[in-house]
């Protein structure tokens, strides 16, 4: 047997759970409409959940990106100072971060895809529920009891099937997010615990080496300037005079 | 007949396309049975394309139960297999 017939059975089983066995078919229209409103709310909540998951990934990615940029700049500074080994170390750490970033981007694409689909599902269901609301009054008024039985039953089954479909879409999105949440949680913990710090927050070592080198070169420059000043011996009058005075006094 | 593509919507497909659909559907089922992911993706895409091209999208205010249901277009083989297995291949409902 093909897949379509079996899928149809699965969807039908889910849909049956949504159907009320109202004695008066007209009554089933109102009952179904209540369920549709609840279903719409659930889909909207699900969209919000997916959006939250997406934002979380974006935040983590921007944190990692910031650290990667910093390492890139440090590699540049190290090269400027002629320290190739340090530059290499910074770039190596940056490469490790880039790998994590690629992974986050893949997750982001998946969540965005789910978000897009769920938004479309919510909009479609909204349209259907809206037209069901206007149609149900007409149906109540215009059908004879015998007609109502079949026509209303079909309409209610039809829209209930759409709700089941939306329910499956939500479940799918939720499953995808659940898998990611676990990884995102682990990443948050790593970021918070500082376990990634050695790798991503180079203040302690790379930055310290850069700072040290730059302090050394600043001191060298000042020393050279002083030497030049003393060498020419041109006295900026008052202070040098005072110093001479002290010198002679001692 | 009315065909639903999960996560997308319903289409009215002319009855004379039933055989063509059936062949494409069998190809999907075969790929699932063989566990052939690449073939599955291909077969599902072909089946979906046939429904979309030979069918007419059902209006949003037309409420009708579907005769056939196509899995989510981006389903993985594992996902589809799990879904089918989860429900005892349709024995839950009116098969008995």
pLDDT digits (tens, 9 = 90+) for A133-175: 988 888 888 777 777 778 888 889 999 999 999 999 999 988 8
Q: Per-residue pLDDT averaged across A55-67, rounded?
A: 90
- CB count, 10 Å around CB of A108? 18
Beta-carbon separation of A4 and B3 below 8 A: yes
* H or E element that contains B11: strand B9-12
- What is the model's pLDDT at position A206? 77
Residues 162-201 (A) with a CB less than 8 A from some CB of B: 162, 165, 168-169, 172
State which residue of chain B sits closest to A121, comparing Cα positions. B7
A30: pLDDT strictly greater than 60: yes
Q: What are B17-58's pLDDT values in tens digits?
A: 999 999 999 999 999 999 999 999 999 999 999 999 999 999
* Residues in B touching A135 (Cβ below 8 Å): 61
Characterize the bridge pairing of strands B9-12 and B2-5: antiparallel
Compute the radius of gyration of chain A from its Cα atoms: 35
* Residues in A touching B7 (Cβ below 8 Å): 117, 121, 165, 168-169, 172
User: How far from the centroid of its chain's Cα atoms is residue A75's Cα?
Assistant: 28
- What is the model's pLDDT at position A249? 45
Q: How far is the C-alpha of B61 from the C-alpha of A145, rounded, in Å? A: 22
Distance from CA of A57 to the nearest CA of B (A): 22
User: Is the Cβ–Cβ distance between A157 and A15 less than 8 Å?
Assistant: yes
Q: Which long-range contacts (CB under 8 A, 24 or more apart) does B42-51 make?
A: B44/B70, B44/B71, B44/B73, B44/B75, B45/B73, B47/A4, B47/B21, B48/B5, B48/B73, B50/B17, B50/B20, B50/B21, B50/B24, B51/B3, B51/B5, B51/B11, B51/B13, B51/B21
User: Is the Cβ–Cβ distance between A19 and B93 less than 8 Å?
Assistant: no
A124: pLDDT strictly greater than 50: yes
Q: How many helices and strands, by DSSP H and E, does chain B display?
A: 3, 4
Q: What is the ipTM of this complex?
A: 0.86
User: Is the Cβ–Cβ distance between B18 and B1 less than 8 Å?
Assistant: yes
- CB count, 10 Å around CB of A180? 20
Q: How far is the C-alpha of A2 from the C-alpha of A43, rounded, in Å? A: 30
Beta-carbon separation of B71 and A135 below 8 A: no
HSE-up (13 A, CA, CB side) for residue A242: 3
- What is the model's pLDDT at position A243? 47
B93: pLDDT strictly greater than 50: no
Q: How far is the C-alpha of B6 from the C-alpha of B8, rounded, in Å? A: 5
Q: Who among A3, A8, A132 is closest to B66 (CB)?
A: A8
- What is the model's pLDDT at position A204? 56
Beta-carbon separation of B69 and A159 below 8 A: no
Q: How far is the C-alpha of A12 from the C-alpha of B22, rounded, in Å? A: 20
Q: How far is the C-alpha of B18 from the C-alpha of B67, rounded, in Å? A: 11
User: How far from the centroid of its chain's Cα atoms is residue A60's Cα?
Assistant: 7
* Residues in B touching A16 (Cβ below 8 Å): 93
- Give SS3 for B9: strand
User: Is the Cβ–Cβ distance between A169 and B7 less than 8 Å?
Assistant: yes
Q: Which residues of B touch chain A, with CB atoms under 8 Å apart?
A: 3-4, 6-7, 9, 21-22, 25-26, 28-29, 32, 47, 60-72, 74, 79-80, 83-84, 86-87, 89-90, 92-95
- What is the model's pLDDT at position A196? 56
Q: How far is the C-alpha of A170 from the C-alpha of A175, rounded, in Å? A: 9
Asked if A43 has any chain B CB less than 8 Å from its own CB, the reply is no
Beta-carbon separation of A16 and B68 below 8 A: no
What average pLDDT is seen over chain B?
88
* Residues in A touching B95 (Cβ below 8 Å): 9
Q: Is the pTM here over 0.80, yes or no?
A: no
């Amino acid at each position: 047997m093909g897949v379509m017939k079996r899928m149809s059975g699965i969807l039908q089983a889910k849909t049956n759970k949504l159907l009320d066995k109202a004695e008066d078919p007209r009554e089933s229209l109102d009952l179904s409409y209540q369920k549709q409103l609840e279903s719409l709310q659930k889909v909207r909540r699900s969209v919000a959940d997916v959006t939250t998951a997406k934002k979380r990934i974006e935040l983590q990615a921007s944190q990692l990106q910031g650290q990667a940029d910093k390492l890139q700049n440090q590699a540049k500074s190290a090269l400027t100072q002629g320290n190739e080994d340090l530059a290499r170390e910074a770039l190596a750490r940056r490469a490790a971060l880039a790998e994590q970033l690629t992974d986050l981007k893949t997750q982001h694409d998946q969540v965005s895809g789910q978000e897009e689909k769920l938004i479309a599902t919510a909009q479609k269901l909204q349209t259907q529920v809206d037209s069901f609301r206007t149609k149900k009054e007409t149906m109540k008024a215009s059908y004879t009891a015998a007609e109502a039985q079949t026509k209303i039953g079909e309409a209610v089954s039809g829209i209930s099937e759409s709700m089941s479909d939306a329910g499956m879409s939500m479940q799918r999105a939720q499953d995808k997010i659940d898998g990611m949440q676990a990884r995102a949680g682990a990443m948050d913990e790593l970021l918070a615990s500082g376990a990634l710090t050695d790798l991503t927050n180079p203040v302690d070592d790379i930055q310290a080496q850069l700072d040290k080198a730059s302090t050394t070169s600043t001191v060298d420059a000042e020393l050279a300037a002083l030497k030049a000043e003393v060498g020419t011996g041109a006295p900026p009058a008052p202070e040098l005079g005072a110093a001479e005075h002290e010198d002679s006094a001692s | 007949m009315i065909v639903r593509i999960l996560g997308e919507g319903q289409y009215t497909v002319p009855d004379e396309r039933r055989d063509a659909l059936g062949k494409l559907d069998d190809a999907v089922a075969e790929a699932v049975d063989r566990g052939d992911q690449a073939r599955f993706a291909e077969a599902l895409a072909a089946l979906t394309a046939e429904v979309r091209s030979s069918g007419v999208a059902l209006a949003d205010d037309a409420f009708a139960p579907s005769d056939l249901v196509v899995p989510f277009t981006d389903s993985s083989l594992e996902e589809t297999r799990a879904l089918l297995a989860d429900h005892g291949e349709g024995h839950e409902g009116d098969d008995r």
